[in-house]
Amino acid sequence: MTLPTAAPAKSAYPEKIWLYLHFPLLPLDALLDDLKDQQQHQNPVAVICQEKNILRVLCCNNSAKQSGVEPLLSLSTALALCPDLLTMRQQLEREKNAMQQLALIAYSFSPGVIIAEQGLWLELSGCEKLFHNYTQLLQKLHQALLLQSTNVDMGIAGSADAARLLCRSGFRCELPSSAELEQQLKLTPLSQLNTSRRQQQSFYQLGLTCLGDLLALTRTDLASRFGTGIVEQLQLLLGEKPCQMARFEPPATFHDLLQNPQGIFSKQGLLFPMKTLLQRLSLYLQARQCYCRALEWRFEPLLGEPSSMHVTLSGSQNSWSNLLDLSRLQLERIDLPASIETIILSSDNFVDGIPSGVDLFGTALLGTALAEEESSEAAQLMDSLRARLGPDALWQPALGRNYFPEEAGTVVVPGERQQLRTAHRGLQPLWLLPKPIAIQIRHQQLFWRQPLHILSGPQRLCDNWWQNNQQRDYYLACDNQGSRYWLFKQSDTGRWFVHGLFS
């Protein structure tokens, strides 16, 4: 009899797995859209910032590094080292936007995302089941992040601060074992801790060089010697205290823009940036689990008035390809300024998504699924018709509250619900003339295009006497060939009108 083999040891992490992602070239990536040419990516590029009246290099790409340019060099030195260096000014707004985009991407992998200055923390302990194992999760995350940023460094540990301390360059898709982690933590030099200069000096004088030495001392000694700040830091590092930083939440409205300094001259050229923006919108909608009801596009030229375009949706589509089709259809109808420099997409009209129904026994409700599919098809058809023809080309018949035919059958904008239904008895024609047409009497015979003969007798309809003191007697009439008409005679003036056609 063989003994059952022991179950493989579960991951030795106590509760949490924290992943720290560092984006060293974030200022450069944020400005990448400005470099349209692929070739320009190969040229040395650096981002500069101003520090106390000196322009310094903030970060630079690999080809610049090969020429010897490094961060913190002054601009003149950098230009001397590398004459054809392309320099760009740091733009904090765009860095923030780029960081928000990265946070949204990370949010689709894990619910606990925290934003740091040039990095992100992700908390991965609950996400294993969705991705089957951590390796796959990390691989997919790496692929998703590469679309936005060129360089990602990462560190994994059991607590957030430790993950930051252990951040190394390169992206590894394997979780390190806890023994390795402990080893690495112990060897971290103390200069990387967040302590004052005085404390660093006292560490040095005491002969404490790395974290392992600090951990060998007792906590009470540390507290009495260096203050409770150090003890708290150690507790955060070792995961004994939970991380208190605020989590990332997707913002309540969506606002994004793309800039093209060279200007876009044709509607065809607009489609690619619009597609990028719509893909970001669909990522945001997925993160917030809602549908969008209205979009606003703004096209701003270098000189002149911006033009904007509203796309209204029935709220049942999320996919960026449908949104792109609708926007394209509507784009054909508007005039654009000559050369467009900035494209802005914003939306604040969202409606929560309703998950498709599954009843108690797990069987999907077929009826509702089909009905939802078909009504979403109808909604899509209405959206595309509205986008192509304009909103004033679509109508729906609706019952009105009065008995008078022109109010009883109105046409309204589609989608409005009818509140009251009055019961209409008697014959009702299929076609109504919106304005009744007066008919003549020739030789004592009613005449409208042809002589008319009355078939059946009057039905009197009165309007609200306080609004309109009209009384009408409605008759059914036919002509020689048999088409039937709905006539009425106004009781006060005695004039005859045609109001409807039976078809």
**Which residues would be at the binding site for other proteins (CB under 8 A)?**
370-371, 374-375, 377-378, 380-382, 384-385, 388-389, 393-400, 405, 408-411, 414, 418, 421, 424, 426-434, 441, 444-446, 452-459, 476-484, 489, 494, 496, 500-503
In angstroms, how far is the first alpha carbon of the chain from the final one? 89
Burial class of residue 366 in the structure, from the number of CB atoms within 10 Å of its CB (0-12 exposed, 13-18 middle, 19+ buried): exposed
Nearest to 500 by CA among 409, 418, 420: 409
Q: Which is nearer to other proteins, 49 or 398 (CB)?
A: 398
At residue 297, φ and ψ (nearest 5 deg) are -105, 140
Task: Give me the least distance between CB of 381 and other proteins, in Å please.
Answer: 4
Q: How would you class 52 by CB atoms within 10 Å of its CB: exposed for 0-12, middle for 13-18, buried for 19 or more?
A: exposed
| Residue listed under structure tokens 């004088």 | 205
Contact yes or no for 214/208 (Cβ under 8 A): yes
Q: How far is the CB of 332 from other proteins (least distance, A)?
A: 11
Q: Give the tokens for residue 232.
A: 């708290």
C-alpha 200, offset from chain centre: 46
Give the CA distances from residue 260 to residues 306, 344, 438, in Å, rounded to whole numbers and listed in that order: 15, 12, 62
| CB nearer other proteins, residue 251 or residue 391 | 391
CA-to-CA distance for 87 and 49, rounded, in angstroms? 10
> How far apart, in Å, are the Cα atoms of 88 and each of 34, 66, 85, 248?
10, 18, 10, 29
Q: Which is nearer to other proteins, 370 or 462 (CB)?
A: 370
* Integer angstrom CA distances of residue 64 from 23, 50, 439: 18, 19, 88
Least distance (Å) from other proteins to the CB of residue 376?
11
Question: Nearer to other proteins by C-beta: 50 or 445?
Answer: 445
Please state the closest distance from residue 295 (CB atom) to other proteins, in A.
21
Q: Which of 477, 413, 411, 404 is nearest to 441 (CA)?
A: 477
Torsion sign (Cα): 72, 74, 75, 76: negative
We find the least distance from the C-beta atom of residue 365 to other proteins, in angstroms, to be 15
Quick one: 339 exposed, middle or buried, by C-beta within 10 A (0-12, 13-18, 19+)? middle
| Residue 312, token pair as written in the block | 């209204």
Give min distance, CB of 395 to other proteins, in A: 4
Give least dist CB 373 to other proteins, A: 9
Question: Between 321 and 445, whose beta carbon lies closer to other proteins?
Answer: 445
* Shortest separation between residue 401's beta carbon and other proteins, angstroms: 12
Instruction: Specify the amino acid at residue 126.
Output: G
Q: Which is nearer to other proteins, 36 or 424 (CB)?
A: 424
Q: Give the whole-angstrom CA distance, residue 489 versus residue 494.
A: 6
Residue closer to other proteins, measured from CB, 176 or 414: 414
Rounded least distance, CB 334 to other proteins, Å: 16
Q: Which is nearer to other proteins, 351 or 381 (CB)?
A: 381
**In angstroms, rounded to a whole number, what is the distance separating the alpha carbons of residues 31 and 149?**
11
> How far is 258 from 128, CA to CA, in rounded Å?
35
Give min distance, CB of 404 to other proteins, in A: 11
- Nearer of residues 110 and 314 to other proteins, judged by Cβ: 314
- Of the pair 102, 487, the CB lying nearest other proteins is at 487
In angstroms, what is the minimal distance from the CB of 462 to other proteins? Answer: 16
Residue 34 or 372: the one with the smaller Cβ distance to other proteins is 372
Chain-centroid distance, C-alpha 104:
9
